[in-house]
Amino acid sequence: NVASTWIQAAVRFDFEMRFAGPRELRPPADLLGWANGHGGRIHLFDDPGEAVAGAHCVVTDTWVSMGDDDARDRRHNLLAPYRVDARLMRLAHRDAVFLHCLPAHRGNEVTDEVIDGPQSVVWDEAENRLHAQKGILLWCFGAEAAAA
């Protein structure tokens, strides 16, 4: 999931990562152990405001994975306090950006005001992901395939 990938990136690129979420949805203990053993600066919070305070980047993800409809109501109840809204973004650094891997469920994990606001870079994020994926495909098929 997205949090696990960010944890790996935080270790690799040496940045502090703060995770806010209910205890039962925290990243796996073995991943956190690996990160801490490799110099990761991963901090876990129950309070989203504490996690976001001064952050340069605020990231959220879809609350319910595709095909996991049985968990929908339970997840929504658990995660409602973690919705990224304008109040939460005001706690972040004034130049903070908002990221979401999409698709976003407006009104659930993020409000319209944030995803459509000036701090949101979700569309640039999606475009950059497309170019990265094209590069990976070229690498997988070999440079010769690109020239053909």
What are the DSSP calls for 94-123, one per residue?
Answer: TT-EEEE-S---BTTTB-HHHHTSTTB-HH
Does the structural domain 2-121 have CATH classification 1.10.3720.10? Answer: no
**What tokens does 14 get?**
């040496």
Question: What is the pLDDT at residue 43?
Answer: 98
Q: What are phi and psi of 111, to 5 degrees?
A: -90, 160
**What tokens does 27 get?**
């990243």
Tens-digit pLDDT profile for residues 49-61: 999 999 999 999 9
Looking at per-residue confidence, does 21 or 70 come out higher? 21
Mean pLDDT over the full length of the chain: 95
Segment (H or E) for 133: helix 122-141
Is pTM, for the whole model, over 0.75?
A: yes
* 122 CB neighbour count, 10 Å cutoff: 18
In the chain, where are the structural domains located? 2-121
Question: What is the pLDDT at residue 71?
Answer: 85
